[in-house]
Each structure stands twice: as structure tokens, then as C-alpha cells.
Structure 1
């Protein structure tokens, strides 16, 4: 309760991985209970989803460095106790998703982390930060997996809305900040260097050809899914959190 608040839930370019020999072990049960509470909290706090996903990877053998990372999440929450998602009435009933991937970000096994945010009528409804099950052979492969996950989420939301008799305005939008991945998705020509992403490429191309999905380019500075794939500087982090329509009820009017 007396800690100094932190500006972000996780450090930039953090090196959390298998601990060094001089890294002392901490009580596993208390570490697991604490991280378990943070996992529960992340269901309503998308701004800590990536940080919680990182520390939860070390619940089997936590060390001092992992505990310090958890403490930083608590310090961030100390400074933002009233922050939450604000839902507002939108002018258009549109479905949008922002997808991103951090290529080979894990120093333990060099697996990538992908994330997506989905918005309905401008309001944040679902999000996910997930470490890949296998190592990506290129940044394009990592981005394609993120795009495929985002499209699957959009299709699932579309089915729910159809059951509720809600008609969408225009095609669903999948925002990506990787022009190479967007170009490959639209290009029907096979290339040797893209064979390893062939399944995801055909899946995405099928949805593009049907007009169900469009893939506008978004600049890295406006890519809100960056929060779900890496640690960011305080200024960039706060800017992107604001784009999620997260507001602090304790902030002065």
C-alpha cells in the first residue's frame, strides 16, 4: 500500500527468462496466488494483459527477478486504481480488430507473442495476448499468425451479432502495421519465402476475396495492439491506453 506508483506495468526490453544462478528462489505458493489474482484482474484491465501473461510463464519456479516484475504490475495498479473501460454509444455498428506480433521476443525459447484488440461500435470488447506454440521463422509468419487469430475473433463476434439480429455497417476491418504482411495477404502469387505461412495466407486471402474482411494499414504509433506484445515507454503506453477508451474515474473532471 505504501509503494511508489509505476508509469507502466512492465519494463521496456525486459529480459525475463530462465533465471541466473545467483537469482534467489521465492515462495512458489504465494507467487502463484498473487499472479492468479492478477490473471483474474486482467479480464477487466487490458492494459496489464501482456505483463501478466509474461510473469505467469514462471509460476512453476519463480525467482526474485520474476517477483520484481510482479511488484511493478502492483505499482502500476497503485497509480491507476480507478482505471477501467468506458463504453459509449457508437454512431456506426462496425467490427474492427488491431493485431500485432513481436518477432522472437522471448529470450528463453525465441517464440513470438501476438495480440489483438477487437472493437464493436468503437468500444473495446475482447482482447488477447498469447505466446506462440512454435518458433516463427520470420516476422511475416509471426504477423500472419496474429492476423489469423484476429480474423477468427472477428468471425466469432460476427456470428454472435447475427444471432442477436445485429447488422454490421460495412466489412470488418483488420488493422495491421506490417505492410509486407498486408501485401503478401493480397498477393495470390506463391513465393518460396512465404511457403511456411501458406495455410494462414490462404485463410486470410479467402476472407479478403469474399469482402468479409479488409486490411487497412495503421501506423506503429497508432497500433494499440503493441501493448499486448511488448513493454513500451511511458508516453507511448499512456497514449495507446487512451485509444482503448480506458478512463480513470478518480481523475479530476
Structure 2
């Protein structure tokens, strides 16, 4: 490493030899993670191959799971004594601070009740509103107007695009607990390079929606099955600039929604069936990964996961591979759905468009339809007077 400013001893060509990684350097986090993971593995933990930040240990029916994010750690177990022993072990090797039961983690607020576990980002939402100066604005019922088509050339370019980029960056992290704004934020994030005043006004529309529901989040019910169930959808050629489609999916474990995504596809689809097929392939990949995670957490899932789609043509292509004229333009990696169906890990079902929950991830909806889908997802406002999520 280069000599610090003001140090004049030695020749000008000399450098300092780094004996220990310093906090703040690029390699510091890697060295810390290496030391922590080695300590956990020496203590009998196994590192998950599906998520390298997850460590588990199963000893005589006593299960411990440990999730690491840099120097913040979550611990879960079916034996409180083992948790206390683990804390003592960690304290003997590192300087740790025990924060007690999980209530606040990386901006996410966790609340427990007889109904289940509710997590939201109320404080983070209010901080975004305060930072953008919209705390006193009038709230709206939807995050984005229906049939709104944004393009790169819409509006006048901003003189200072960093304001827009900072705002959309904040909203991206908020989608961790707010699936209702996923599509809106996905759309806004496409114009980070050259944002315009129209894009900024649309982002402020999302802020006005958040103003009305700052404490809204997901409720994971206490009583639920362990059946994986996914809803996938696409909006064909919805991007005016690139004519690419938007994929979206929502995945449930029983009645708890545990994964969701809204993303513009990487290629142009020649038909709506192809766009739906790519959306199903993305949901299928996520289901496969979630099965690995459940296996690591000692939750077996031998039965097939349900995959719901509202496109009959796509379901026919999956069931009958003898459609060369319809599928020869589809990339081969999308056909993994057929392999998963053959091995019995995925089972496809048709769902009417009126009951397609994944519509929330692919298009802007009316307030009535949006609220109906959010209630099925388990999105509730803990701080609303009529929420009914108390003890």
C-alpha cells in the first residue's frame, strides 16, 4: 500500500507492507467473512450451498440456523439453551453485542403477535419521505397510474440527475417488504442514466402512495402449510423503447408470500406465449432454489410445487413438446420447465386472469384490483386502526 500523506522517511519508491486488513479497505470484509466462517465451521456448522451466508447445525434433533450479513447476525433455533451457548462461543472469539429478540434488522421492523410475524419498513419509509420533502403531501391510492407509458424521451432532462438516482435507490431497498411498489420501482429504475422531470414526477407519485401507508408490510401467518406455490405472469412488449416484455412472479410457502420479482426480460419475445414461457422459466428457477433453501433448513418438500399461469397456449407448449414451429425461436434454457415437470418437482395449473396475483408485478392496476391482490398476498398495515393484527 502507498505511504500515507506526510510520511517522508525512506526513499520515494518505497511502499508499506500490509500485515493486517484494516476496517474500510476493500479486502477487510472478505477477511472478516473468512475468519467468521472458519470459526463457525470449526464449531460444527455447515455452510449452505444455496446461500453462502447461511450456516446450519443439526445435533441430536437440536437445529440451529445462523444468517450473516457482514457483521450483523441472526440466530434461530428450537432450543434456547443452545442459542445461549452459541452466543458465549461467539463472544469468546469476537467482540459481539447481543441485541436480544429480533425486532429491527437492516431497516426492517419485525413484530410478533398471535396472528404471526409482521415485517415492514415504516421508519425507512418515513425517512425517505422526509428526505424528499413529501411528508406533508396528499396521499394517493395507487403507486402508478394505469396505462402510463414512460419512455426515455418523455419530458425534459434533469439538470441534477443524482436526486432521481438517490430516490430510486432508496425505493429499490423498500421493495424488500413492499411488493405493491415492485412494478413501479422496476419501471423507474430503467431511466437512471438520463432521467427527466416526467420520470421524477412519476417517482413522486410513488412517494405519495407511500405517504398513505408507511407501515404497510407482509404478514407471515402463524399457521401455514409447507406447500410451495407460485403465480407467474408477463406483460408482452410493454416497454415502448425496447419492445421487451415484463416478467413477474409471486411465490408462497403455504399462505405466506416469501419471494416476488418484477423484471424486464433480456430479449424481445415474438409472441405473448413466449413471454409467458420465459416468465414461467424464471419462476421455475426460483422454486428450485427455494427447495434447496428449505432442505438446508430441515424442511423437506417431496411433493411437487404448484406453478399457476393464465396463458393456455403456454401450458399446451409445456405439456406437448411437439410444436417446433411455435418453440424453435425460444432459447433452450427456457425448456427447463419440461424437465422439472418430468421429474415431478413442478406441477402447472391454469388460473383465470381475474385471479392472477402476479399481475401486481407486471402492470399498473386500479386501486380496487390492487387491494384485492395485496390482501391475498398477506400485505397489511400493522398501524392501521382496523388492521386487527394485535395480540
Is the TM value for this pair above 0.5?
Answer: yes
Which residue of the partner structure matches residue 112 of structure 1? 245
Unpaired runs of 5+ residues, structure 1, are none
For 1:196 and 1:10, the matched residues in 2 are separated by 34
- 2:376 counterpart residue number: 243
Matched, 1:19 2:153: yes
The number of residues matched between the two structures is 252
**Is the 2:278–2:334 Cα contact (8 Å) retained in structure 1?**
no
5 Å-filtered alignment, 1:79-118, equals: 79-118=212-251
| Residues 75-101 of structure 1: CA deviation (Å, up to 9, x unaligned) | 110011111000112442101111100
How many Å apart are 1:200 and its aligned residue? 4.8
Gapped regions of structure 2 (runs ≥ 5): 1-134, 387-391
Equivalences for residues 226-237 of structure 1 within 5 A: 226-237=359-370
1:218 partnered with 2:367? no
CA distance in 2, matches of 1:198, 1:31: 36
Q: Which of the pair has more CA radius of gyration?
A: 2
Name the SS for the 1:86 alignment partner: strand
Match of 1:9 in 2: 143
Separation of aligned partners in 2, 1:234 and 1:110: 27
Separation in structure 2 between the aligned mates of residue 8 and residue 131 of structure 1, nearest angstrom: 21
Counterpart of 1:123? Answer: 256
* Runs of 4+, deviation exceeding 6 Å: none
1:183 aligns to 2:319 (yes or no): no
Contact kept in structure 1, 2:152 and 2:194, CA below 8 Å: no
Q: What do the CA deviations read for 1:136-158 (whole angstroms, capped 9, x no partner)?
A: 11111110110000000000000
CA distance in 1, matches of 2:368, 2:159: 32
Structure 1 contact 145–200 (Cα < 8 Å) conserved: no
Match of 2:293 in 1: 160
Q: Please say which of residues 191-200 and 215-224 is displaced more in the overlay.
A: 191-200
In the alignment, is the contact (CA less than 8 A) between 1:184 and 1:201 conserved in 2?
no
Flag the 1:95–1:87 CA change in 2: closer, same or farther, 3 A: same
Question: Aligned partners of 1:91 and 1:244: how far apart in 2?
Answer: 13
Q: CA RMSD in A?
A: 1.5
1:66 corresponds to 2:199: yes
Q: TM-score, normalised by structure 1?
A: 0.95
Task: State the shift of 1:170 in Å.
Answer: 2.8
CA distance in 1, matches of 2:278, 2:159: 35
SS at match of 1:36: helix
User: In the alignment, is the contact (CA less than 8 A) between 1:102 and 1:142 conserved in 2?
Assistant: yes
TM-score by length of 2: 0.62
Counterpart for residue 35 of structure 1: 168
Q: Is contact 1:26–1:62 with CA below 8 Å preserved after alignment? A: no
Higher relative contact order (CA 8 A, sep 6+): 1
Contact 1:92/1:169 (CA < 8 Å) preserved in 2? Answer: no
Which structure has the highest helix share of the two? 1
1:142-192 deviation per Cα after TM superposition (whole angstroms, max 9, x unaligned): 101100000000000001111222122631001111111111100131331
**How far has the Cα of 1:122 moved from its partner?**
1.4
Following superposition, the deviation at residue 60 of structure 1 comes to: 1.1
TM-superposition CA deviations, 1:193-234 (whole Å, max 9, x none): 221126255311111122111011111111111111111111
**Structure-1 separation of matches of 2:218 and 2:340:** 30
